[in-house]
Amino acid sequence: MSGVEAVLARIAELQTALAPRQKATGNFATALQQATSGGTATLTAPVAGAQPLTPVGMPSVQGVPGAAPVAGNGVGARMVQIAQAEVGQAEQPPGSNDSPRIAEYRTATAGSGVGPWCNYFVSWVAKQAGAPLGEAQQGFGLVDACFAWAQRTGRSYQLGAGRTPQPGDLIVWDEHIGMVERVLPDGKIQTIEGNSSNQVSRRVHGPDGDAAVGFIKMS
């Protein structure tokens, strides 16, 4: 065998030895390209030293912080946990005040019918948490009726004098009601609200709750 033939033979051996690694790397590169372009792919080769990825929660509304862990097992904590799982439930079709899930919310309110459902939602959350609203545990369809009950039973309060809303407390506006998820470090109040943009939405309001009428203590 000549010197040239020997060199060619050696190159062929090296190509054969490297072929499996080149194929695996190519598969990984293709999969990575698919994944970053929005496609789905299975990665067929590990990357040396790579660490497993930890899923990162996405906010439900642009610019609004996502779900926060809730400590404890009191009524307020249970209400927050239940409501967090409902974020994104929407009317079907939009503007109808109805959907199969919203129909479930109505079951927590005696004599309810299809209509504005923010109070149906908090009534359902409270009932699921083991603290139904109303003297007869009947829930409320009207915000005014819910707040009147809170005033009768000493559950209503206003901000001030060091009073800070707690997770699970209800926040009341004129003809609308939601639930406090948490108070942010800057004092703003993050809420979960039914019938907000035709769905269960997470919102952030100013430190005054954007002029809330008052709050209802739930824990």
87, amino acid identity? V
Q: For residues 99 and 117, give the distance between their C-alpha atoms in angstroms, rounded to a whole number.
A: 11
Q: What is the tens place of the pLDDT at every residue in 83-118?
A: 999 999 999 999 999 999 999 999 999 999 999 999
| 75-216: CATH number | 3.90.1720.10
What is the structure's pLDDT at 128?
98
Rg from Cα positions in the chain:
28
What is the structure's pLDDT at 50?
34
pTM of structure: 0.71
Q: For residues 77 and 173, give the distance between their C-alpha atoms in angstroms, rounded to a whole number.
A: 22
